[in-house]
Structure 1
Amino acid sequence: MRLHVREFGGPADRTLLVVHGGPDWDHSYLVEPLDRLAGEHRLLFPDLRGCGRSPAAEPLTPDAMVDDLAELIGSSPVDVLGFSYGGLLAQRLAVRYPELIRRLIVASSSVLPVPPDAFAGWAEYERRSRAHPSVWETSSLEGAALVRAEAFATAARDVWKAESLPGYLRRLERVAFTSTYLELYRSGRFPSARYPDALDRLAGVPLFLLHGRQDMTFPSSLVDRTPCGGAVVLEEAGHMAHIDQPDAWLDAVRGFLSA
């Protein structure tokens, strides 16, 4: 497997591997503000197997994606930031290849499972869900066009601040969406990337949680219940916390990596 990887130069012994979410997105929506770390850190932004500009090949599973990342890392340990679904993959990478992980940042994701009633009674969540519903079941679009339409339809749930939304929509325009995992996911045939006992399995891995208080995908309430080496929950920030609060978000990343 030859992954498409965008690299920013920096010291090899200070490499940060960034694992994007989706899947069926590419890495590009995460480049800013992390690109400001270039020079201080070597930055690697791969497109996961079957995502963006990386080819699709069987098996299409979380373990295959994790094996690709381990091959990309090589033999020297790196820091890893996993965002959203990428946060689940980053945890899986740390469990299966602990010798390759120096420090782990789980951003806009969770170690603990999300309860089915996680957002019950949250009026703003209900308002935005009604105003900006998912298009999975209602759209006549198919393939990558459907994945793209879903990203745009739910953008106002993913970004908390109204003034941040136009910039986020422009960023989405540049994402190379795919549909490699779409039908597997919708049919229930795509294996979960989450370990039910992730906390126990991650014991010994330096773990940092970075979250938006108003995240409507992974509830911020789980952060307080997760034992870890450190955590930052940004106020006035949603699931795309790096869009809502880019400076504070980057400061949190930089602070953890320099500790």
Structure 2
Amino acid sequence: MSLHRTELGESGQRVVFCHGLFGQGKNWTQAGKALSADHRVLLLDMPNHGRSPWTETFDYLELADLVAAELGDEPVALVGHSMGGKIAMCLALRHPELVERLAVVDVAPVTYESGREFVGYIDTMRSLDLANLERRDQAEAALRDAVPNRVVRSFLLQNLRRGDDGWHWQLNLDLLGEHMAELVGWPGDELGDATYDGPVLWVGGARSDYISDEHAAEMDRRFPRNRRVLIKDAGHWVHSEQPEVFLEVMRRFLA
């Protein structure tokens, strides 16, 4: 399996970005372009997302191995947000020789209580009548009641594509919906006592509840060299809500 990729920059350290649920590699384009003057940047579509192939199961260890296969032999700076952050953490724990440093964005190595909100989004997208859809603005209108937040609605609709055979979702909605427990989970037992001893930047949004003090013990155990940074006036989508602050934090970490 080969993942869809976008490469930016011609010299410097390699920086690889892993996006979150419902996202695509292009979500990191702004950050990638900003860093590409001094770094070689790789934006990947995670499996079951964007233009990358689909898998038959959802397993963080399998996904981490698929991303690892894209990296080559040169250690990289690995950046992952939310679902992509869990993939990145698993990759660093399983293939530490491939990761020179790790940035984990607004997620912890823990199982979260519920993915009810995500299931709601998936059910809403699956209920859209694609066969009778003529224009993208009709899809936007159809999702408005179920997804009142315009930013979230636009984020979901980036996955809607029109091909020769009509409209389709690029996301593997069936798989993601059926494996929500694994998606919000964390494969701690399968990872055993694995740790990653490289430098780790743990970035959170100050208004997000994905990172809390109670998560710190497991983060410290798995990643003993982690430094935690909270960015003010940001929620879960830290890099899009406070892009300049996030970029400055990343530049200092990469330097």
Q: Shorter-chain TM-score category?
A: 0.7 to 0.9
Residue of structure 2 in register with 1:90 after alignment:
88
Are 1:206 and 2:199 an aligned pair? yes
Q: Is the 1:213–1:234 Cα contact (8 Å) retained in structure 2?
A: yes
Residue of structure 1 in register with 2:242 after alignment:
245
Give runs of aligned pairs for residues 1-259 of structure 1, distance below 5 A.
Answer: 1-11=1-11, 14-22=13-21, 24-58=22-56, 60-111=58-109, 113=110, 116=113, 134=117, 136=119, 141=124, 143=126, 170=154, 173-175=157-159, 177-178=170-171, 179=173, 181-186=175-180, 188=181, 192-195=185-188, 201-216=194-209, 218-222=210-214, 225=217, 226-227=219-220, 228-258=225-255
Count of residues in correspondence between the two structures: 228
Q: 1:59 to 1:116 in 2, by over 3 A?
A: closer
Q: CA deviation at 1:44?
A: 0.7
- Separation of aligned partners in 1, 2:88 and 2:67: 9
TM-superposition CA deviations, 1:145-202 (whole Å, max 9, x none): 59x999996785xxxxxxxx75x7655543455125323324x476944425979522
Q: TM-score, normalised by structure 1?
A: 0.72
Structure 1: runs of 5+ lacking an equivalent = 118-132, 157-164
TM-superposition CA deviations, 1:33-53 (whole Å, max 9, x none): 332001211111111122110
- Separation of aligned partners in 1, 2:45 and 2:28: 11
TM-superposition CA deviations, 1:18-73 (whole Å, max 9, x none): 01111x43222232233200121111111112211012144543233222211110
Structure 2: runs of 5+ lacking an equivalent = 130-139, 161-169
Higher strand proportion (structure 1 or 2): 2
Q: CA deviation at 1:213?
A: 0.8
Q: TM-score, normalised by structure 2?
A: 0.73
Higher relative contact order at CA 8 Å, sep ≥6: structure 1 or structure 2?
1
